[in-house]
Structure 1
Amino acid sequence: MPTAIAVTSADLALPPQDERTLPAVVLKDLDRRPLEQVLAEVTAVLEAHGHLVVVHSAAAPAAVERRLRTVRSLLETDRIALLTPGLPPLGVAVLARQLRQLASCDLGPGVLASAGRLLTHYIHAGALLGSVTRLDRIPVDLKAHAKSWLPGSQFAVVAHPQPQLVRLAPGASLAGPEFATWMLTAKGQLQSDWVTGTLGPS
């Protein structure tokens, strides 16, 4: 039986790319539901799949991580692996879907958890922003802060694997991966086709 790949929010469960991709187990509201209920849910997943790899965002409340560790301790099992990659939420969702694809190949849980750490290095995650004032993962100099006050300013940011920040202007570009890949986007509030019209083709 294949290892189950779980996420801690429905937002992290991207639709499968093909019919072989396993569905994600969504362990939602871990920090708000009674412990007994969460224990019963995780026990049922372990009984059905044998092993569980939980992929969750570091942006999730600390109480989620504590609850996961509590459940693993109470069950006294080594059949649960916790994976918290240093990726923004969309990057975590991409990683979880990749692990769901690999789990369909009947790889062992240790191999899947190790693959998660390796695959993290190949995911480039960023955003298109109207302001840099609330960035906390990327160094922002005073000049960029000043430009973010100009009406209509937009910035392209890469948070992982190497922090990058550029103000959108003719000729602006970001250093991308040095290997063939595909791009997944989530629509934001900014009205711009720079991501799909300029960044994607480049």
Structure 2
Amino acid sequence: MNPIENTASDEPIKIWIVEDLDDYREDLVSYFETTPEIDCRENFRTFEAAEKAAECCRYSHWPDVILMDIQLPGKNGIDAIPELQRLIPGVDIIILTSFGDKRRIFDAICAGASGYLLKTDGLADIVKGIQEVHAGGSPLNSNVAAIVLTMFSHFKKPEPDTELKEIELEILKQLADGSYTKEIAAALDMKTHQINYHVRNIYRKLHTNSLSGAVARALRRGLIS
């Protein structure tokens, strides 16, 4: 939803279409003309034509939603996503394509697409997708949704943070200077078991099981001197 305009909820959703297949683009335009919820302001064959319009037109003519194909003459739809979002801040872009493969779906989502529909979807479903994205949702074709869920289920959890905290660096410095655990605990106003807890984290983060190994690795990394 374009944040620049504070439109009433009952106003039609302004859209642009970027589609190089003339027959399909004209079918979309004709259908939207009979759909009071949608105001199709512009339609283009290429990203470059849409880019020029975005640079020239006033805010009031900017779309809330752009329907865009992937395989376009010139710059493809996926590469065009961040460019149009830069030119029209807040615009939602729905990819509308014949391609439903994992790579294109992943690339489109990573590029910033708000939704991904297939040309095999009915025109009424495309209208629902426009309304959904305008309301803050992420419309996906049912097959695409299944692929997205599968992709995310295979993502590995991020590795634990390996950067030493300030307290861990201080403890390691004092250990390297020859201080004992009890001495460090007293100096830092902590309990011995708290110091031992931090030492275990230091070993884990530096991938070692000994004080000498921790000190050596910290020195090589320039963490202590």
**Range class of TM-score, shorter chain:** 0.3 to 0.5
The TM-score with structure 2 as length reference comes to: 0.35
Q: Using CA pairs below 8 Å that are at least 6 residues apart, which structure has the higher relative contact order?
A: 1
- The structure number with the bigger radius of gyration is 2
The TM-score with structure 1 as length reference comes to: 0.38
